[in-house]
Amino acid sequence: MLVREHPLRERLRAQQMLALYRAGRQAEALEAYAEARRTLVDDLGIEPSEPLQRLQQAILRHDPSLETPEGTAAVNGLAPTAVESTPPAEPADVIMRRFRPRRWQLALAVLVLLAASASAAAILSTSAAATRRVLPNSLVRLDSRTGKPTLVVPVGNLPGAIAITPKAIWTVNSGSDDVSRYDLSTHKVVTRGLTPGQPNDIAFDREGNAWITNITANDEPARSSIITRLDAGIGGTSGGTVYPSHSHPIHVPLPFAGLEALGAERLWVIVGPHGPVPGDNRVGVIDLRTDRVSVLHLDESATSIAFAYGLVWIGTYGANRPPYVDDNRLEVFRPGDAKPTKIILLRHGANWGPTWIGAGDGAVWALNCSPGCGTAPVITLMKIDPETLRIVHRRDLSHLNPGSISIGAGAIWTGNINNSISKIDPRTMKIVRTFPLGGQTRQLCELAPTRTALWITVGNRVCGTVGS
């Protein structure tokens, strides 16, 4: 329980490993080390300390010192405690008389056990009560097994999209028109204003550059929008001041720069998820090597986008253009293709496109919402084979009413309107568990899982929306 409460404390990890080894559970002791390493690498970007690594090696070679009272101290080269000389042996009848318990001794032992039990219960209740409180406008790390908050960090107003990097976690704050960077090593937050307007989404390329889409603050749809590229390194995506030489605004011919996806050495940007607005059937394409901008035209309005399995997946709907074909669909492009392959998700009766697309566990997943994601919506999660482009499974999630979804740590995670999180098995599409967050003055906005944790952003009553 203490390791779950404090997953980054290596002394607790070492005690757990030693206890497992001494109990004859060597494989579990080694797995405890592997889990500790995954947590440190994923959450802090660092390797375990040398003492913890030496303990793992000692377990692998069955080091005899692990069975001594000194345990890990002997493994780490510390001087053992002095061993007292053994007193001469006594006759057996003397020993038996000395250790024959009396009634008062038995009673005292019972009282000691009761006191110890009470102390343990107090420790457990105190640890449970020490669970961190989720605050509005914050970045929160949850234990992916228990759903309990293990870290709460205040960031900007109405945080939304999350980007996880080896050294930091970024949030896009639509209410305060800035982005926040939480440093995993120093645990400090730096909040940065970048360009006029409202930042909407953030993604990192393989070089470590950040790409931030921006919704221009105009009453009328703009002829072009701005995407800001922050260069990797000092003065860009690292901590500290953003120097102008490391911040590059790139204009794209879209009324708004909305959701984005990275793939095939390009950044793909749609106008969605908002709309409909004139021009929301265009996709801005930026060459990452040259910053050259081109435009890809769709038949319908775009609402969601992802890049997976070498393909660009774009959710669209056709309710606002002739011939008014009221379908929700995925338009699938192979980079370089002029025309997409279309997958119909819902035919007729749909006036809003797929709200989310993701990839994982060998499949592409699309969340379809109808009619219009309004009152009593019908929300369906669809599993698509990326080879055949066919829908192979459907699951009705209307009772959860998810507003955000993410894939990772071997599961599909949904952030639900009632301020709870559900874990779904991607193989069976069954709901494994639902974690309630509670509270009416905060709202779960986005999710981003790692191997051992689930990061979420929490807004103040509502999540960030266009124009908020």
Q: Could you read off the pLDDT of 254-294 as tens digits, one per residue? A: 988 999 999 999 999 999 887 678 888 899 999 999 999 99
Both tokens assigned to 323: 């011939």
What mean pLDDT comes out for the span 318-335?
A: 71
246 close to 273: Cβ distance less than 8 angstroms: no
pTM of the model: 0.70
165 close to 208: Cβ distance less than 8 angstroms: yes
> CB under 8 Å, gap of 24 or more: what pairs does 341-349 form?
341/389, 343/384, 343/389, 343/390, 343/391, 345/315, 345/380, 345/382, 345/391, 346/370, 346/380
- Choice between 216 and 340, residue whose per-residue pLDDT is larger: 340
Instruction: Identify whether 276 is preceded by a cis peptide bond (ω within 30 of 0).
Output: yes
- Cα–Cα distance list, 93 to 86, 89, 99, 101 (Å): 19, 12, 10, 14
Q: Given a cut of 50, is residue 80 above it in pLDDT?
A: no
What mean pLDDT comes out for the span 446-453?
A: 89
405 close to 356: Cβ distance less than 8 angstroms: yes
Please give the pLDDT value at position 446. 92
Highest mean pLDDT among 199-208, 331-340, 400-409, 442-451: 199-208
- Helix axis angle for 10-22 and 26-44, nearest 10°, is 170
- Cα–Cα distance list, 231 to 94, 211, 253 (Å): 81, 9, 22
Residue 390: half-sphere exposure toward Cβ, Cα within 13 Å: 2
Which uninterrupted H or E stretch holds 119? helix 103-129
Q: Given a cut of 70, is residue 304 above it in pLDDT?
A: yes
Cα Rg of the chain (Å, integer): 28
Query: Strand, coil or helix: what is 134?
Result: coil
DSSP state of 83: P
For 85, residues 6+ apart whose C-beta sits below 8 A from its C-beta are none
DSSP state of 33: H
Which uninterrupted H or E stretch holds 313? strand 311-317
**Rounded Cα gap, residues 462 and 468, in angstroms:** 10
Q: Residue 296's closest CA among 249, 325, 263, 333?
A: 333
The domains of the chain, with CATH numbers, are 2-75 (1.25.40.10), 138-459 (2.130.10.10)
Please give the pLDDT value at position 196. 65
pLDDT digits (tens, 9 = 90+) for 171-183: 999 888 899 999 9
Q: Name the band, by pLDDT with cuts 50, 70 and 90, for residue 132.
A: confident
List 183's β-bridge partners, or say none. Answer: 168
How many whole angstroms from its chain centre is CA 374?
27
Q: What are phi and psi of 445, to 5 degrees?
A: -110, -60
189 close to 154: Cβ distance less than 8 angstroms: yes
